[in-house]
């Protein structure tokens, strides 16, 4: 969990393992991969651990971790790159 939530771990310091030890049994992973273990950590921080101040940071770190393990999407073709839906707003 330190790898998924490095800044939260740093801010919680020595208390991080205890918070994780309370979070994991309260919200077991629905997935077989340990990469998904922290799926409910941000809401846990907000509601059950009394650390709403860190919940947004945890959600941001979880999104980053999710992007790291996400399946790659197909590359857009040249024709798709020039469609209005895919162009950045001006």
Look at 73 and 63; give whichever has higher pLDDT: 63
Look up the pTM and report it. 0.68
Q: What is the pLDDT of residues 34-71, one digit of tens each?
A: 667 888 899 999 887 778 888 999 999 988 887 766 67
The reported pLDDT for the residue numbered 27 is 77
Examine the pLDDT at 90 and tell me if it is beyond 60.
no
Whole-number Å distance between alpha carbons of 71 and 89 = 27
Q: What is the pLDDT of residues 1-40, one digit of tens each?
A: 898 999 999 999 999 999 999 998 887 777 777 667 888 8
DSSP summary character for residue 83: S
Residue 28 CB burial class (10 angstroms; 0-12, 13-18, ≥19): exposed
Q: Which tokens in the block code for residue 71?
A: 């399946």
What is the three-class DSSP state of 48?
coil
Q: How many residues does the chain have?
A: 90
The reported pLDDT for the residue numbered 76 is 61
């Amino acid at each position: 969990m330190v790898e998924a939530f490095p800044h939260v771990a740093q801010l919680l310091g020595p208390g991080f393992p205890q918070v994780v030890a309370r979070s994991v049994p309260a919200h077991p992973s629905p997935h077989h991969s340990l990469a998904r273990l922290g799926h409910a950590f941000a809401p846990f921080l907000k509601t059950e651990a009394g650390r709403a101040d860190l919940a947004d940071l945890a959600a941001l770190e979880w999104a980053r971790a999710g992007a790291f393990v996400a399946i790659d999407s197909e590359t857009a073709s040249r024709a798709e790159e020039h469609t209005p839906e895919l162009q950045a707003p001006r």
